[in-house]
Amino acid sequence: MPLELSASQALGLWHAVSFGQVKLDGRDLTLRQMAILLEIYLVPPPHTVRGLAAKLGVTKPVITRALDTMGDMGFVTRERDERDRRNVVIKRTVDGALYLEKLCDLIIDQGRALKP
C-alpha cells in the first residue's frame, strides 16, 4: 500500500506540518531528536543507546543527550537491563505516545487539507 505523492504534495505536506508544529507546540525538537523519538516508538523494542547510535549514524553522546532532553520532557525513560547490567533499555511513556499522537493528527489533517 505505497503512497504516490506529487512533488507539490510532498513539500506542501512537509511545509504545513513543520509550520503547524512550530505554531502549535513551542517545543523545537531537532531533526535528530525527532528521528530518535520516532525510532523508539515505531520500531519494536528493546532500544539501547548503542543501537540507536549505530542505526542513526551518530555518536553515543548524541543519543545520551537526546534522551536526557526527552526524558525531561517526559517522553522516554531509562532502565538498566538486569540481564546485562552494562546496558540501558529505553522505555516509552504515556506522554510520549500522546505527543506523537498529536503529531500524527497534524500530519493527517494537513494531508487532508492539501491543495493539488
Partner DNA sequence: CTTCACCGATACGGTAGCGTAACGAAGTCT
Partner DNA sequence: AGACTTCGTTACGCTACCGTATCGGTGAAG
* One of 11, 60, 98, 108 touching DNA (CB under 7 A): 60
**Cα 54 to Cα 33: distance, rounded to the nearest angstrom:** 15
Is residue 94 a contact residue for a copy of itself (CB under 8 A)?
Answer: no
Q: Which is nearer to DNA, 32 or 107 (CB)?
A: 32
Is residue 15 a contact residue for DNA (CB under 7 A)?
Answer: no
For residues 88 and 53, the answer to whether their CB atoms sit within 8 Å is no
**Cα 32 to Cα 47: distance, rounded to the nearest angstrom:** 16
The stretch near DNA (CB under 7 A) out of 1-9, 29-37, 95-103, 105-113 is: 29-37
Residue 68 contact among a copy of itself, DNA, none, beta carbon within 5 to 8 Å by kind: DNA
Residue 39 class from Cβ within 10 Å (0-12 exposed, 13-18 middle, 19+ buried)? middle
Is residue 65 a contact residue for DNA (CB under 7 A)?
Answer: yes
Residue 113 class from Cβ within 10 Å (0-12 exposed, 13-18 middle, 19+ buried)? exposed
Residue 57 contact among a copy of itself, DNA, none, beta carbon within 5 to 8 Å by kind: a copy of itself
